[in-house]
Amino acid sequence: MKKRKICVVTNSRSDYVRLKTVMLELKRRSDVELVTIVLGSHLLSDFGSTVELLIEDGFAPNYRIFSKVDGNEPVSMARSVGLATTDLATIFYNENPDIVVVHGDRYETLAVASAAALMNIHVAHIQGGEVTGTIDEHIRHAVTKLAHFHFPSNKDAAERIAKLGEEEKNIFNLGCPSIDLIQSAKVMTFAELKIALSEYVKKEGWLDTFTEDFFLVLEHPVTTEFSDTRAHFTEVFDALGSFDNPIMMLWPNVDAGGEALVDLINTFEREHHAQIGVFDNFPNDIFVNLMRHASVMIGNSSSGVREASYLGTPVVNVGNRQEGRNRTKNVIDVPYDAKQIEKSIRAQLKRNTYKKEMPYGKGNSGKRIAEKLATVKLSNIQKRITF
């Protein structure tokens, strides 16, 4: 029997977290030939060269696409999409996959879905139908209309996809695969976490002052608020400057506006050198335990409103990047205002922890999604709008 060829495209660490268990299950299947394509920040040394995470997991990529245009303007993102589309089209032509799997709402995702759809290749989209802020909102729904099979991570998202005119028989609400990794991650004590971090912390003596009251901070630029990036994130750092708690911060993503945010991070680090540690990337087990032990998680990352809910981590979500996304009681939403951010952090410090909630499925999503990808009937490539 001919194997079904399934091509999975991943562009960043956060994207890979949502694809990893799907890829593991596809690789185990005897009826599937898995082709892996890597692009985006995975291949950039400034962002930790996270392609190494895939290689460590046994996914030496079949193809690497170097499409990121240097620059810190929205035009660089648009040009990057064009370059990626060209290379993806060539790969798809040579490989002729049955299904191309893509996740989420990054601008690279638009390149993947566009190239595949134009070439009459079935597109499977993971985590569509959600509502957020930024250009991601536009891209996510555009990819939904290009995709043939939909794997939303909750009931509300599935209903939105149906309202967009997609056939319900092709919408599979199987939860978010990132929850699989939360459940499988080794549970570390704080002492064990510090030992694990020692491999990555290069700032001499910093771990000696890293205590359990630390803040975990993840901030990303908001592309639709590009001109306000510096002013907005100045409010965040002004609020952080009101505390003495150790700060564990990860670099922002590659979106336009990131350069201004990096400047602010560097300035804060110079002024609070002993307080803050800034890192490119961590393996999943370490990142999950950072979320588990953080006294407060601060910023605008989707992990604050998604994965953190399963750990009961107190979260202060800043700005509108996650506006509209399903969240649980552990999240306090605040605008870019230093006083309100500070007030919310202090409120979360008093709270300490929350009850675990499960709005994005109960795990085992990767296996169920892989099963559906391997067996779903490849219907007529022509899509129909239904209402």
**What's the pLDDT score for residue 135?**
82
Q: Determine the Cα–Cα distance for residues 56 and 36; give it in Å rounded to an integer.
A: 14
Cβ within 8 Å of residue 84, ≥6 positions away: 39, 65, 67, 108, 111, 112
Confidence of residue 386 (pLDDT cuts 50, 70, 90): confident
Residue 213 structure tokens: 């009251």
Least confident of 44-48, 265-269, 280-284: 44-48
Mean pLDDT of 153-175: 94
Residue 94 CB neighbour total at 10 angstroms = 8
What's the CATH fold of domain 183-351?
A: Rossmann fold (3.40.50)
In this prediction, residue 356 carries a pLDDT of: 87
A 10 A CB-CB count for 30 gives 7
Q: Which of 54, 18, 56 is nearest to 37 (CA)?
A: 54
pLDDT band at 327 (very low <50, low <70, confident <90, very high): confident
Spatial CB neighbours of 228, under 8 Å, sequence gap ≥ 6: 222
Give the integer Cα–Cα distance in Å for 88 and 135.
Answer: 22
Calpha distance 120→143 (Å, rounded): 15
Predicted model pTM = 0.83
Mean pLDDT, the chain, integer? 91
pLDDT at 254 over 80: no
- The pLDDT of residue 191 is 96
Task: Give the model's pLDDT for residue 365.
Answer: 94
Three-class SS state of 110: helix
Average pLDDT over residues 125-151: 92
Mutual angle of helices 229-240 and 338-351, in 10-degree steps: 40
Do 261 and 234 contact (CB within 8 A), yes or no? no
The dihedrals phi and psi of 237, each to the nearest 5 degrees, come to -70, -30
- Which residue would you say has higher pLDDT here, 133 or 221? 221
pLDDT confidence bin for 324, thresholds 50/70/90 = confident
**Residue 83: its pLDDT value, please?**
93
Phi, psi of 369 (to 5 degrees): -65, -45
Provide mean pLDDT across the span 20-38. 96
Q: How high is the pLDDT of residue 170?
A: 95
Rounded average pLDDT over 195-217: 91
The pLDDT value given to residue 164: 95
How is the chain split into domains, by residue range? 4-176+361-375, 183-351
Per-residue pLDDT band for 367 (boundaries 50, 70, 90) equals very high
In the predicted structure, residue 257 carries a pLDDT above the cut 80:
no
Neighbours of 209 (CB within 10 A): 11
Fold match flag (4-176+361-375 vs 183-351):
yes
Distance separating alpha carbons of residues 230 and 208, to the nearest angstrom: 32
Pick the CATH number of 4-176+361-375 from 3.40.50.2000, 3.40.1160.10, 1.10.3210.10, 3.30.1950.10: 3.40.50.2000
- What average pLDDT does range 277-287 have in this prediction? 87
User: What residues contact 236, with CB distance under 8 A and at least 6 apart?
Assistant: 219, 298, 299, 318, 336, 338, 341
- Reported as a pLDDT band with limits 50, 70 and 90, residue 67 is confident
Q: Using alpha carbons, select from 327, 159, 87, 322 the residue that is nearest to residue 144.
A: 159
